[in-house]
């Protein structure tokens, strides 16, 4: 959200900042996410495949948004994907655009309605932490994910590193160059839309080094973090996307981190 939009009290822009409401859902669905499809989602899918999450497995996509990633995972892995989200509008978009590959449920009061303890063989969660304002909210999500997982089930978390400030990536820029953010502090992230224009959103900074401790407090063990590189993307991402541009910034300072943990 620009200063002028904030000052004018533009409701659509305010909703888009939190991806809530119908404006927010539509705004998120209009993003390109090229950097995520290069250095993020394919590595989440690979982490799940390496833990034998495939046909017959129940995979929850926690904070699934408009369902693009959930649908892709269902087709790629053959798992039964259950997308869950706090936004009814996001879920409506997901249901409308899905080809039946995944099913969708509301997160209400911090709990996924209709999913029993241990119902999931695996959980993935991409770019949800940035919406969470404080440590209690992060822990609440991790604890609900832990409730859903069977013991030993993997949790794969994709997040942007808030320390990678100021760099112009293909589809994002995080905050201002040189800025340092305390845990949970707000920062502005610019995200590229499919029409080439940019959307500004207010996110919360969650330093990736904090995540292992928070996961352990929520009942996870064996936390491993990996920062995917462009060289590795050649093995897992769409070859057309890999060859579509030089990815100079992504090569120099890869911005995404995949954190994998196991339900204790
Ligand atoms: C940036 S979008 C990411 C969507 C999807 N994971 C992706 O990567 O394309 C963040 C999503 O998380 C949802 N969300 C925010 N807080 C949540 C919470 N506490 N529990 C579940 N979903 C949440 C939002 O409604 C939104 O759909």
179, part of any domain: no
Residue nearest to atom 1 of ligand 1 (CA): 127
Nearest of 263, 260, 187, 236 to residue 36 by alpha carbon: 236
Confidence (pLDDT) at 6: 35
Confidence (pLDDT) at 5: 33
Nearest of 177, 169, 176 to residue 198 by alpha carbon: 169
Beta strand 80-85 with 58-62 is: parallel
pLDDT tens series, the chain, 264 aa: 333 333 333 334 433 446 989 999 999 999 999 999 999 999 999 999 999 999 999 999 999 999 999 999 999 999 999 999 999 999 999 999 877 888 999 999 999 988 999 999 999 999 999 999 999 999 999 999 999 999 999 999 999 999 999 999 999 999 999 999 999 999 999 999 999 999 999 999 999 999 999 999 999 999 999 999 999 999 999 999 999 999 999 999 999 999 999 999
Say yes or no: CB of residue 86 within 6 Å of ligand 1. Answer: yes
Return d(Cα 62, Cα 142) in angstroms, integer: 10
Give the DSSP per-residue string, 118-156: T-BSEEEEES-GGG--SHHHHHHHHHHHHHHBPTT-EEE
184, part of any domain: no
Confidence (pLDDT) at 18: 62
Tally of domains in the chain: 1
250, part of any domain: no
Give the residue numbers spanning the domain of 97. 5-161+206-240+255-263
**Ligand 1 atom with minimal separation from the 25 CA:** 27
225, part of any domain: yes
Q: What is the largest CA-CA distance in the chain?
A: 51
Return d(Cα 184, Cα 198) in angstroms, integer: 24
188, part of any domain: no
Residue nearest to atom 22 of ligand 1 (CA): 63
Confidence (pLDDT) at 25: 94
Say yes or no: CB of residue 90 within 6 Å of ligand 1. Answer: yes
Say yes or no: CB of residue 127 within 6 Å of ligand 1. Answer: yes
Mutation choice for ligand 1 from 128, 148, 155, CB with most ligand atoms inside 8 A: 128
CATH code assigned at 229: 3.40.50.150
190, part of any domain: no
167, part of any domain: no
Whether this prediction's pTM lies above 0.85 is answered by: yes
Tell me, in angstroms, the distance from the centre of ligand 1 to residue 61's CA. Answer: 9
Say yes or no: CB of residue 65 within 6 Å of ligand 1. Answer: yes
What lies within 8 Å, CB to CB, of 181 at 6+ separation is: 162, 165, 175, 187, 205, 207
176, part of any domain: no
């Amino acid at each position: 959200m620009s200063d002028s939009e904030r000052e004018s009290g533009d409701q659509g822009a305010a909703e888009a900042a939190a991806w809530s409401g119908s404006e927010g859902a539509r705004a998120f669905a209009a993003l390109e996410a090229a950097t995520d499809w290069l250095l993020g989602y394919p590595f989440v899918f690979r982490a799940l495949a390496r833990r034998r999450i495939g046909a017959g497995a129940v995979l929850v996509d926690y904070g699934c948004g408009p369902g693009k990633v959930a649908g892709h995972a269902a087709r790629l892995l053959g798992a039964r994907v259950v997308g869950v989200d706090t936004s009814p509008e996001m879920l409506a978009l997901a249901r409308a655009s899905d080809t039946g590959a995944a099913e969708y449920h509301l997160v209400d009061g911090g709990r996924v309605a209709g999913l029993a303890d241990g119902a999931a063989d695996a959980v993935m969660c991409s770019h949800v932490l940035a919406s969470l304002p404080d440590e209690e909210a992060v822990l609440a999500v991790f604890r609900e994910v832990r409730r859903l997982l069977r013991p030993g089930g993997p949790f794969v978390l994709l997040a942007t590193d808030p320390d990678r400030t100021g760099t112009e990536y293909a589809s994002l820029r995080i905050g201002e160059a040189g800025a340092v953010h305390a845990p949970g502090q707000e920062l502005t992230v610019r995200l590229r839309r499919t029409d080439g224009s940019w959307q500004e959103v207010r996110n919360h900074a969650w330093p990736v080094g904090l995540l292992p401790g928070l996961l352990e407090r929520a009942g996870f063990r064996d936390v491993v973090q990996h920062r995917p590189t462009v060289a590795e993307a050649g093995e897992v991402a769409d070859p057309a996307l890999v060859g579509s541009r030089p990815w100079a910034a992504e090569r120099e300072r890869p911005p995404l981190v995949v954190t994998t943990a196991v339900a204790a």
